Structure 1
């Protein structure tokens, strides 16, 4: 199983957030966001930040770095190594099962991902027949969106999706196409855009906290 960085906001967590970082980062990348995101009165949450494996990345001249899959080209219709994506979905499934084994039911587990990490959680969600609390897809896209389908019996999982209007890594139009594709597939998507590059911003964190609070209260 992947090594992880973990933070718990209280004793005996009732909810979990499994958060996948972007290319070249590691599990420590988004750990500092926890105190900015979590609000008083929320139930205890366990944040799990896994480290992606180190692998050669083709578009970076084969230099090894942490990544959830190889990026083989610039065309978003075919840039993702789908074997690598599927391997990472399997690793994610193992992390979900570990949280279930630790007493947190699947319907109280959120999946979050930035950039590459978001591509993995979106792919995983279309293949799941078991419930989840929701998806948090930040500055990301769905690989092979033109041919994406949901498996028979796939459950409805709400998605918070946010993107920068000035993102030079994943253009806004690519992310908008992903949101439209997900809606066509019957996924509930809350879309947000912000005047930023390939990053997160305070306004985005606040909107995400609102979205999470609604689901925590409903749960």
Structure 2
């Protein structure tokens, strides 16, 4: 991969890829954390989807005593209205944009690229996906929230207004309460986005029912060609 790109774990299909899922992990994790989910999705054996799981840069995280860990942005406060370091969100979103553009340069069109993210990674998936200037296949926002929702209308690009968006959350999530995910969903609906809301009996993680729904979503927005 080019030196300027985020490092990542990749899971390639048996055949040449004609589609791509770029999936961002949560705070303190790495691209290795979600890579095993590909086999659990039970996609058709002849699928041609390349999965990319980038590693967030290491940085000090204020709420964890300044400890360095992989993080898409600093979390300076437990106050949900100001917990995300906005400059860090924009920086990481720009790095994810480079991954998208690299896939496009390698022959996979934007409309065959899906952005996904869990927790912090979901913030980045939503942030970049709604601002990207070409239509994407879809966006998955898992157990997450939206950074600066009040600025969405002014900053978003119209290219992805009709792009399917899968918003999902655990009803027992104590890390990112479900009301934050639902608030993001409501902002999307109010702004005319094509989004769906899914809840599961789980905490800040994924479960089998959610994995099955994710698989169905991926198969719908990235059908075999």
TM-score normalised by length of structure 1:
0.95
Aligned-CA RMSD value: 1.4
Asked if the contact 2:48–2:224 (Cα under 8 Å) also holds between the matched residues in 1, the reply is: no
Residue in 1 that maps onto 2:36: 32
CA offsets per residue over residues 71-118 of structure 1, 9 Å max, x none? 011122111000000000110010001111111101000001000000
- The correspondence of residues 134-213 of structure 1 with structure 2, limited to 5 A, is 134-149=138-153, 150-151=155-156, 153-156=158-161, 157-213=163-219
- The correspondence of residues 54-203 of structure 1 with structure 2, limited to 5 A, is 54-149=58-153, 150-151=155-156, 153-156=158-161, 157-203=163-209
Structure 1: unaligned runs, 5 residues or longer: none
TM-score normalised by length of structure 2:
0.93
Give the CA deviation at 1:136.
1.0
Give the CA deviation at 1:216.
2.5
2-structure distance, mates of 1:38, 1:51: 24
Aligned residue pairs, count: 219
Give the CA deviation at 1:191.
1.0
- Deviates most, 72-81 or 19-28: 72-81
CA offsets per residue over residues 44-84 of structure 1, 9 Å max, x none? 11000110000000111111100000001112211100000
SS of 1:186's partner is coil
Instruction: Flag the 1:42–1:134 CA change in 2: closer, same or farther, 3 A.
Output: farther
CA offsets per residue over residues 167-202 of structure 1, 9 Å max, x none? 000001111111000111111111110010000000
Residue in 2 that maps onto 1:4: 8
Structure 2: unaligned runs, 5 residues or longer: none
